[in-house]
Amino acid sequence: MIERLLSEALEEKFGEEGMEECFLVDIVTKKNDKVEVYIDSDGNLPIKTCQVVSRFLEKKIEENGWLGEKYTLEVSSPGVDRPLKLKRQYVKNVGRRIRITNNEEETSEGKLVEVKEDSVMVQIAKDRIEEILMKNIKTAKILVSFK
């Protein structure tokens, strides 16, 4: 219930001028009225944007009484430890290294080189590019390099 209400509120917010590149990735509710909202952007996602969205959601929650008196709301980007969920996230990460686990638990690792309508292209080796259907992806995580 709260997920749907927050999602609808964010659709409204992301329709505003200056917020068009932002999108909702996930809403996770936990015990003790803790709500984690993960947002992303087609470009950079400054912390200020997360603060603006957090204040907007707090106001909506309090005005409408969606949660009790005591709740915790966290708004952030998904971070590198969370798997990609949306096609927009794949597009944003073209050119980066990725690890994909398919539905059969097989893993492919390489450079994300292209995102198509229903698949992604991953350069596994210098002369080998693998096409992976989105429907066959169980998890996909961007690999961070600390070179």
- The pLDDT score that the predictor gives to residue 79 is 84
Asked if residue 80 has pLDDT above 90, the reply is no
- Average pLDDT estimate for 67-86: 91
Q: What is the pLDDT of residues 17-76, one digit of tens each?
A: 999 999 999 999 998 889 999 999 998 899 999 999 999 999 999 999 999 889 999 999
d(CA 25, CA 45): 13
Asked if residue 146 has pLDDT above 90, the reply is no
- The 10 Å CB-count burial string (b at 16+, else e) for 26-62 is bbeeeeeeebebbbbbeeebeeebbebbbebbeebbe
What domains are there in the chain, each with its CATH number?
2-76 (3.30.300.20), 87-142 (2.30.30.100)
| pTM of the entire predicted model | 0.85
